[in-house]
Amino acid sequence: MEMKRVVVTGLGTINPIGNSVPEYWANLEKGVSGSELITSFDASKFKTKFACQVKNFDPNAYFDRKELKKIDPYTQFALVAVEEAMKDSGLNTEAIDLDMAGVVWASGIGGMQTFTEELRGYFAGDGTPRFSPYFIPRMISDIAAGYISIKYGFRGPNFSTVSACASSTNGIISALDIIRTGKANVIIAGGSEASVNEVGVGGFNSMQAMSTNNDEYKTASRPFDVTRDGFVIGEGGGCIILEEYEHAKARGAKIYCELKGGGMSADAYHLTAPHPEGLGARKVMENALKDADLTIQDIDYINVHGTATPLGDIAEAKAIISVFGDYAFKLNISSTKSMTGHLLGAAGAIEAIAAIFAICTDTIPPTINFKSPDPEIDSRLNITPNSAQKRSVKAALSNTFGFGGHNASIIFQKI
């Protein structure tokens, strides 16, 4: 079977540093931090009192009161991001085959806010089960994909991917394979997450995974810096419209770039810690290069997973050097989580947008908050510290690694 080419024709996002793609990219270039003290609940008794929250978002501007009763914030973020991407793509739903249009939407956790609210109400009562009929449909991780398909009438493949922080990258790979093999012409792919709440922050605090640098919260997300002490939790969503190349050309679509390939692997090592030598991370990048039919010299930029956890950054840096050898020191790498925080299951989607814009603008977004090198991370790696850098970007790779040892990498190329 001849594999079809897959291109990107639309982008959308709502995240801690931008409620649209242009705003997001402008703030990535400027190195803006999205971290702030938590405003969505009283975090005074929590170890971590800050997060990267979506700002200036009024759901009432997008949804009526009846709708808001039915949709968790993670689904709200999904629908907002998709709306921007669909407009950006110029897709006319009356002019395409809706049986060949699908949705693959990811969330690592789903409706955590809904789950929290419903249980709070139950335990505050007398034990009589009084649950909202919307409880389960609001909460489950696949429901955003359902809402998206209903809104746009897409009757093709429709499902959700759940693999912790690798969720939306796995979803993008699934969408790639669906279009490649002729099962769809268009896929709305991406992910959303809304876990900045008591349960999300408290749960990750208990794992000692998140930064507790409350005195310097603006700069607490410090990938590769020796003073890093964990990730900063974020929220939001990102959407990529993927389309079969000839289908896009036939309708005169704007094409950002080509999605060349994707790789997957498992650490098979530990539930929450990466393999110390980055063996799973190495394998997933090798698999992505093989799937894309590219060499290491074809890659100019890697948007790294780079969560600012003490072990994770070291393992990923080792993996990059293991795969790319001396060429690793000619690459630019950067962690945009230094600005957005970690959007968990939505991280791969918004970071894919960053990689795409790096290709389109020949600009590498920075790793901000970097002051003190870690002696365990090779200083020859160009982590694009603190300021954006200009360079030709023909192809970019984006890494996402999830709890459970789930690894996913995707490669975009200039067209």
Domain count, the chain: 2
Tokens of 100: 């060949």
Mean of pLDDT over the chain: 97
Q: Are residues 324 and 402 both part of a single domain?
A: yes
Q: Are residues 144 and 284 both part of a single domain?
A: no
Residue 367 pLDDT > 90, yes or no? Answer: yes
Residue 356 pLDDT > 80, yes or no? Answer: yes
342: annotated active-site residue: yes
Residue 216 lies in a domain: yes
Residue 145 pLDDT > 80, yes or no? Answer: yes
- Give the pLDDT band of residue 2 (cuts 50, 70, 90): confident
List the domain range (segments joined by +) for residue 119. Answer: 7-250
Q: Are residues 163 and 240 both part of a single domain?
A: yes
CATH number at residue 169: 3.40.47.10
Q: Are residues 16 and 67 both part of a single domain?
A: yes
Q: Are residues 228 and 363 both part of a single domain?
A: no
Tokens of 136: 């389960």
Q: Are residues 125 and 266 both part of a single domain?
A: no
Residue 384 pLDDT > 80, yes or no? Answer: yes
> What dihedral angle (degrees, nearest 10) is formed by the CA atoms of 221, 223, 226, 229?
40
Q: Are residues 166 and 290 both part of a single domain?
A: no
Radius of gyration over every alpha carbon of the chain, rounded to an integer in angstroms: 20
| pTM for the predicted model, two decimal places | 0.97
Q: Is 43 helix (H, G, I), strand (E, B) or coil?
A: coil
pLDDT (tens digit per residue) in 59-115: 999 999 999 999 999 999 999 999 999 999 999 999 999 999 999 999 999 999 999
Residues 201, 178 contacting (CB under 8 angstroms): no
Q: What is the pLDDT of residue 175?
A: 98
Residues 335, 224 contacting (CB under 8 angstroms): yes
Q: Is 188 helix (H, G, I), strand (E, B) or coil?
A: strand
Q: Which of 165, 239, 275, 406 is catalytic?
A: 165
Q: Are residues 160 and 90 both part of a single domain?
A: yes
- Give the pLDDT band of residue 165 (cuts 50, 70, 90): very high
Provide the 8-state DSSP code for 28. H
Q: What is the pLDDT of residue 214?
A: 98
Q: Is 50 helix (H, G, I), strand (E, B) or coil?
A: strand
Q: Which of 52, 239, 275, 342 is catalytic?
A: 342
Q: Which of 247, 275, 305, 406 is catalytic?
A: 305
Provide the 8-state DSSP code for 224. T
Query: Which one of 201, 228, 250 terminates a domain?
Result: 250
Residues 77, 139 contacting (CB under 8 angstroms): no
Q: Are residues 145 and 243 both part of a single domain?
A: yes
Provide the 8-state DSSP code for 368. -
Residue 359 lies in a domain: yes
Residue 375 lies in a domain: yes
Query: Which one of 250, 283, 299 terminates a domain?
Result: 250
Q: What is the pLDDT of residue 1?
A: 74
**C-beta neighbour count of 290 within 10 angstroms:** 11
Strand partners, 221: none
pLDDT (tens digit per residue) in 176-194: 999 999 999 999 999 999 9
Query: Which one of 230, 250, 270 terminates a domain?
Result: 250
Mean pLDDT computed over 146-165: 98
